[in-house]
Structure 1
Amino acid sequence: MKEQTIFELLHTMDKVTNNLIIQWNKMFNENLGISHILILSHLRSSGKSRPSDIAKSLGLTPPTLTHLAEKLVQKELVVRIVDESDRRIINLGITEKGIEMVNRAHQEGVVLRKNLFKKLSDEEKQQLLAIYEKLDS
Protein backbone atom coordinates (compact mmCIF):
# COMPACT_ATOMS: atom_id res chain seq x y z
CA MET A 1 0.00 0.00 0.00
CA LYS A 2 1.32 3.44 -0.91
CA GLU A 3 2.16 5.76 1.98
CA GLN A 4 -0.33 8.35 0.71
CA THR A 5 -3.06 5.70 0.74
CA ILE A 6 -2.28 4.81 4.37
CA PHE A 7 -2.66 8.47 5.37
CA GLU A 8 -5.89 8.72 3.38
CA LEU A 9 -7.18 5.64 5.18
CA LEU A 10 -6.23 7.00 8.61
CA HIS A 11 -7.74 10.38 7.76
CA THR A 12 -11.01 8.78 6.64
CA MET A 13 -11.16 6.62 9.79
CA ASP A 14 -10.61 9.75 11.91
CA LYS A 15 -13.34 11.61 10.04
CA VAL A 16 -15.84 8.79 10.66
CA THR A 17 -14.90 8.64 14.35
CA ASN A 18 -15.07 12.42 14.78
CA ASN A 19 -18.42 12.53 13.01
CA LEU A 20 -19.76 9.84 15.35
CA ILE A 21 -18.56 11.79 18.38
CA ILE A 22 -20.20 14.99 17.12
CA GLN A 23 -23.48 13.18 16.40
CA TRP A 24 -23.44 11.48 19.79
CA ASN A 25 -22.77 14.76 21.60
CA LYS A 26 -25.76 16.32 19.79
CA MET A 27 -28.01 13.37 20.63
CA PHE A 28 -26.87 13.01 24.22
CA ASN A 29 -27.54 16.50 25.48
CA GLU A 30 -26.16 16.07 29.03
CA ASN A 31 -23.00 18.22 28.94
CA LEU A 32 -20.90 15.07 29.29
CA GLY A 33 -18.29 13.80 26.88
CA ILE A 34 -17.53 10.29 25.81
CA SER A 35 -14.66 10.09 28.31
CA HIS A 36 -17.12 10.76 31.14
CA ILE A 37 -19.32 7.92 29.91
CA LEU A 38 -16.31 5.61 29.63
CA ILE A 39 -15.48 6.31 33.29
CA LEU A 40 -19.07 5.60 34.31
CA SER A 41 -19.05 2.38 32.25
CA HIS A 42 -15.80 1.30 33.90
CA LEU A 43 -17.24 1.90 37.36
CA ARG A 44 -20.50 0.14 36.51
CA SER A 45 -18.69 -2.96 35.32
CA SER A 46 -15.71 -2.99 37.74
CA GLY A 47 -17.21 -1.47 40.87
CA LYS A 48 -15.42 1.12 42.98
CA SER A 49 -11.93 1.79 41.65
CA ARG A 50 -8.88 3.89 42.32
CA PRO A 51 -8.62 6.83 39.91
CA SER A 52 -5.12 5.73 38.85
CA ASP A 53 -6.48 2.28 37.90
CA ILE A 54 -9.32 3.84 35.90
CA ALA A 55 -6.88 6.17 34.12
CA LYS A 56 -4.61 3.27 33.21
CA SER A 57 -7.50 1.11 32.02
CA LEU A 58 -8.90 3.86 29.79
CA GLY A 59 -5.58 5.22 28.55
CA LEU A 60 -6.01 8.58 30.26
CA THR A 61 -3.48 10.57 32.25
CA PRO A 62 -4.13 10.82 36.00
CA PRO A 63 -4.64 14.62 35.80
CA THR A 64 -7.18 14.15 33.00
CA LEU A 65 -9.01 11.53 35.03
CA THR A 66 -9.06 13.86 38.05
CA HIS A 67 -10.57 16.65 35.95
CA LEU A 68 -13.21 14.36 34.42
CA ALA A 69 -14.05 12.78 37.78
CA GLU A 70 -14.61 16.18 39.38
CA LYS A 71 -17.41 16.92 36.93
CA LEU A 72 -18.94 13.49 37.56
CA VAL A 73 -18.84 14.13 41.33
CA GLN A 74 -20.42 17.57 40.90
CA LYS A 75 -23.23 16.03 38.83
CA GLU A 76 -23.70 13.37 41.56
CA LEU A 77 -22.97 10.56 39.09
CA VAL A 78 -19.91 9.42 41.06
CA VAL A 79 -18.89 9.60 44.71
CA ARG A 80 -15.49 9.55 46.34
CA ILE A 81 -15.10 6.69 48.80
CA VAL A 82 -12.38 6.75 51.46
CA ASP A 83 -10.73 3.38 52.07
CA GLU A 84 -11.36 2.51 55.72
CA SER A 85 -8.10 0.54 56.06
CA ASP A 86 -5.97 3.36 54.60
CA ARG A 87 -7.60 6.78 54.66
CA ARG A 88 -5.08 8.08 52.12
CA ILE A 89 -6.68 5.91 49.43
CA ILE A 90 -9.69 7.39 47.66
CA ASN A 91 -11.82 5.28 45.34
CA LEU A 92 -14.51 6.37 42.96
CA GLY A 93 -17.88 4.68 42.99
CA ILE A 94 -20.85 5.08 40.66
CA THR A 95 -24.17 6.32 42.04
CA GLU A 96 -27.63 5.13 41.02
CA LYS A 97 -27.95 8.35 39.03
CA GLY A 98 -24.65 7.49 37.32
CA ILE A 99 -25.90 4.01 36.42
CA GLU A 100 -29.03 5.53 34.89
CA MET A 101 -26.89 8.01 32.93
CA VAL A 102 -24.56 5.36 31.51
CA ASN A 103 -27.51 3.13 30.61
CA ARG A 104 -29.14 6.00 28.74
CA ALA A 105 -25.85 6.82 27.00
CA HIS A 106 -25.55 3.21 25.83
CA GLN A 107 -29.13 3.30 24.49
CA GLU A 108 -28.32 6.48 22.55
CA GLY A 109 -25.17 4.77 21.24
CA VAL A 110 -27.24 1.86 19.92
CA VAL A 111 -29.44 4.30 17.98
CA LEU A 112 -26.36 6.07 16.61
CA ARG A 113 -24.73 2.80 15.49
CA LYS A 114 -27.95 1.63 13.83
CA ASN A 115 -28.15 4.90 11.89
CA LEU A 116 -24.50 4.62 10.87
CA PHE A 117 -24.53 0.97 9.83
CA LYS A 118 -27.89 0.98 8.05
CA LYS A 119 -25.93 2.39 5.09
CA LEU A 120 -24.09 -0.94 4.82
CA SER A 121 -25.37 -4.24 3.52
CA ASP A 122 -25.10 -7.32 5.76
CA GLU A 123 -22.14 -8.47 3.66
CA GLU A 124 -20.38 -5.11 4.07
CA LYS A 125 -20.92 -5.23 7.84
CA GLN A 126 -19.34 -8.70 7.95
CA GLN A 127 -16.41 -7.47 5.85
CA LEU A 128 -15.91 -4.45 8.12
CA LEU A 129 -15.98 -6.65 11.21
CA ALA A 130 -13.47 -9.05 9.67
CA ILE A 131 -11.16 -6.17 8.77
CA TYR A 132 -11.25 -4.68 12.27
CA GLU A 133 -10.71 -8.09 13.87
CA LYS A 134 -7.71 -8.65 11.60
CA LEU A 135 -6.28 -5.21 12.46
CA ASP A 136 -6.80 -5.89 16.17
CA SER A 137 -4.88 -9.17 16.16
Structure 2
Amino acid sequence: MIEKDIFGIIHSMDRVTNYLIIQWNKTFNESLGISHILVLGHLRDNGKSRPSDIARTLGLTPSTLTHLSEKLVQKGLATRFTDDNNRRIIYLAITDKGIDLVRKAHEEGKSLRENLFEELSDEEQQQLLSIYGKLNDSIKN
Protein backbone atom coordinates (compact mmCIF):
# COMPACT_ATOMS: atom_id res chain seq x y z
CA MET A 1 0.00 0.00 0.00
CA ILE A 2 1.23 3.46 -0.85
CA GLU A 3 2.27 5.53 2.18
CA LYS A 4 -0.18 8.28 1.23
CA ASP A 5 -3.06 5.77 1.42
CA ILE A 6 -2.06 4.71 4.94
CA PHE A 7 -2.09 8.32 6.11
CA GLY A 8 -5.48 8.78 4.46
CA ILE A 9 -6.85 5.78 6.36
CA ILE A 10 -5.38 7.03 9.64
CA HIS A 11 -6.75 10.52 9.04
CA SER A 12 -10.22 9.14 8.26
CA MET A 13 -10.22 6.95 11.37
CA ASP A 14 -9.14 9.93 13.49
CA ARG A 15 -11.89 12.13 12.03
CA VAL A 16 -14.57 9.56 12.87
CA THR A 17 -13.17 9.04 16.37
CA ASN A 18 -12.92 12.77 17.01
CA TYR A 19 -16.47 13.31 15.72
CA LEU A 20 -17.81 10.65 18.09
CA ILE A 21 -15.92 12.13 21.06
CA ILE A 22 -17.16 15.65 20.30
CA GLN A 23 -20.76 14.48 19.90
CA TRP A 24 -20.54 12.38 23.06
CA ASN A 25 -19.20 15.37 25.02
CA LYS A 26 -22.10 17.49 23.74
CA THR A 27 -24.77 15.00 24.78
CA PHE A 28 -23.27 13.55 27.96
CA ASN A 29 -24.07 16.23 30.53
CA GLU A 30 -22.05 15.04 33.50
CA SER A 31 -19.07 17.47 33.34
CA LEU A 32 -16.76 14.51 32.80
CA GLY A 33 -14.61 13.62 29.84
CA ILE A 34 -13.85 10.37 28.10
CA SER A 35 -10.76 9.85 30.28
CA HIS A 36 -12.89 9.90 33.44
CA ILE A 37 -15.15 7.24 31.94
CA LEU A 38 -12.16 5.14 30.92
CA VAL A 39 -10.88 5.19 34.51
CA LEU A 40 -14.31 4.24 35.84
CA GLY A 41 -14.58 1.50 33.24
CA HIS A 42 -11.21 0.13 34.29
CA LEU A 43 -12.32 0.08 37.93
CA ARG A 44 -15.62 -1.59 37.02
CA ASP A 45 -13.89 -4.27 34.98
CA ASN A 46 -10.84 -4.86 37.22
CA GLY A 47 -12.02 -3.99 40.72
CA LYS A 48 -9.97 -1.92 43.14
CA SER A 49 -6.72 -0.79 41.54
CA ARG A 50 -3.63 1.19 42.37
CA PRO A 51 -3.56 4.51 40.51
CA SER A 52 -0.14 3.71 39.03
CA ASP A 53 -1.54 0.49 37.53
CA ILE A 54 -4.53 2.32 36.07
CA ALA A 55 -2.27 4.99 34.57
CA ARG A 56 0.00 2.39 32.99
CA THR A 57 -2.92 0.38 31.57
CA LEU A 58 -4.67 3.43 30.09
CA GLY A 59 -1.48 5.13 28.90
CA LEU A 60 -1.90 8.13 31.21
CA THR A 61 0.69 9.94 33.27
CA PRO A 62 0.46 9.52 37.05
CA SER A 63 -0.26 13.24 37.45
CA THR A 64 -3.11 13.03 34.93
CA LEU A 65 -4.58 10.08 36.78
CA THR A 66 -4.31 11.98 40.08
CA HIS A 67 -6.28 14.85 38.56
CA LEU A 68 -8.92 12.53 37.07
CA SER A 69 -9.32 10.46 40.23
CA GLU A 70 -9.68 13.56 42.41
CA LYS A 71 -12.73 14.63 40.41
CA LEU A 72 -14.17 11.10 40.47
CA VAL A 73 -13.80 10.93 44.26
CA GLN A 74 -15.29 14.42 44.71
CA LYS A 75 -18.34 13.42 42.63
CA GLY A 76 -18.81 10.21 44.63
CA LEU A 77 -18.10 8.02 41.59
CA ALA A 78 -14.99 6.41 43.09
CA THR A 79 -13.46 6.01 46.52
CA ARG A 80 -9.84 6.17 47.60
CA PHE A 81 -8.55 3.99 50.43
CA THR A 82 -5.33 2.52 51.76
CA ASP A 83 -4.26 -1.11 51.92
CA ASP A 84 -4.92 -2.72 55.30
CA ASN A 85 -1.42 -4.24 55.44
CA ASN A 86 0.57 -1.34 53.99
CA ARG A 87 -0.86 2.15 54.50
CA ARG A 88 1.47 3.54 51.82
CA ILE A 89 -0.46 1.67 49.12
CA ILE A 90 -3.52 3.55 47.90
CA TYR A 91 -6.37 2.03 45.89
CA LEU A 92 -9.25 3.42 43.92
CA ALA A 93 -12.57 1.62 43.68
CA ILE A 94 -15.75 2.42 41.79
CA THR A 95 -18.96 3.19 43.66
CA ASP A 96 -22.50 2.13 42.70
CA LYS A 97 -23.04 5.68 41.44
CA GLY A 98 -19.93 5.28 39.28
CA ILE A 99 -21.18 1.97 37.86
CA ASP A 100 -24.49 3.62 36.93
CA LEU A 101 -22.64 6.48 35.25
CA VAL A 102 -20.45 4.11 33.20
CA ARG A 103 -23.60 2.31 32.07
CA LYS A 104 -25.16 5.63 31.04
CA ALA A 105 -21.98 6.69 29.20
CA HIS A 106 -21.83 3.41 27.29
CA GLU A 107 -25.50 3.68 26.31
CA GLU A 108 -24.92 7.20 25.02
CA GLY A 109 -21.85 6.09 23.06
CA LYS A 110 -23.72 3.11 21.63
CA SER A 111 -26.52 5.37 20.44
CA LEU A 112 -24.06 7.73 18.74
CA ARG A 113 -22.28 4.85 16.99
CA GLU A 114 -25.57 3.30 15.84
CA ASN A 115 -26.64 6.62 14.34
CA LEU A 116 -23.32 6.96 12.55
CA PHE A 117 -23.13 3.39 11.25
CA GLU A 118 -26.70 3.35 9.94
CA GLU A 119 -25.21 5.33 7.04
CA LEU A 120 -23.51 2.09 5.95
CA SER A 121 -25.20 -0.76 4.12
CA ASP A 122 -25.33 -4.18 5.79
CA GLU A 123 -22.51 -5.33 3.52
CA GLU A 124 -20.36 -2.30 4.40
CA GLN A 125 -20.97 -2.89 8.11
CA GLN A 126 -19.84 -6.51 7.70
CA GLN A 127 -16.73 -5.39 5.81
CA LEU A 128 -15.90 -2.86 8.50
CA LEU A 129 -16.46 -5.45 11.22
CA SER A 130 -14.12 -7.83 9.40
CA ILE A 131 -11.45 -5.16 8.99
CA TYR A 132 -11.60 -4.06 12.63
CA GLY A 133 -11.60 -7.70 13.74
CA LYS A 134 -8.40 -8.26 11.78
CA LEU A 135 -6.82 -5.11 13.23
CA ASN A 136 -7.84 -6.09 16.77
CA ASP A 137 -6.36 -9.56 16.29
CA SER A 138 -3.04 -8.00 15.27
CA ILE A 139 -3.05 -5.76 18.34
CA LYS A 140 -3.46 -8.74 20.70
CA ASN A 141 -0.28 -10.35 19.35
Query: Would you call these one fold, judging by a TM-score over 0.5?
Result: yes
Unaligned segments of structure 1, at least 5 residues: none
Q: What is the DSSP-based 3-state SS (H/G/I as helix, E as strand, rest coil) of the residue aligned with 2:25?
A: helix
CA-to-aligned-CA distance 1:79-114 (integer Å, 9 cap, x gap): 101111000001001111111111111111111111
Aligned partner letter, 1:63: S
- Match in the other structure for 2:58: 58
Q: 2:5 and 2:49 mapped to 1: Cα distance?
A: 42
Query: Could you tell me how far apart the structure 2 residues matched to 1:91 and 1:105 are?
Result: 23
The match for 1:104 is: 104
Q: Scaled by the length of structure 2, what TM-score is found? A: 0.92
Secondary structure at the aligned position of 2:81 is classed as: strand
Segments of 5+ residues of structure 2 without an aligned counterpart are none
CA distance in 2, matches of 1:104, 1:135: 28
Quote the offset at 1:135 in angstroms.
2.2
Alpha-carbon RMSD across the aligned residues, in angstroms, is 1.1
Q: Counterpart in 2 of 1:128?
A: 128
Whole-angstrom CA distance in 2 between matches of 1:125 and 1:59: 30
Report the TM-score when normalising by structure 1: 0.95
How far off its partner does 1:129 sit? 1.2
1:69 aligned residue: 69
Q: Percent identity at matched positions?
A: 68
Cα distance in 2 for partners of 1:4, 1:46 equals 40
Moved over 3 A (4+): none
1:34 aligns with: 34
- Counterpart amino acid of 2:13? M
Number of aligned residue pairs = 137
Please give the alpha-carbon distance, in whole angstroms, between the structure 1 residues aligned to 2:39 and 2:23. Answer: 20
CA distance in 2, matches of 1:131, 1:47: 32
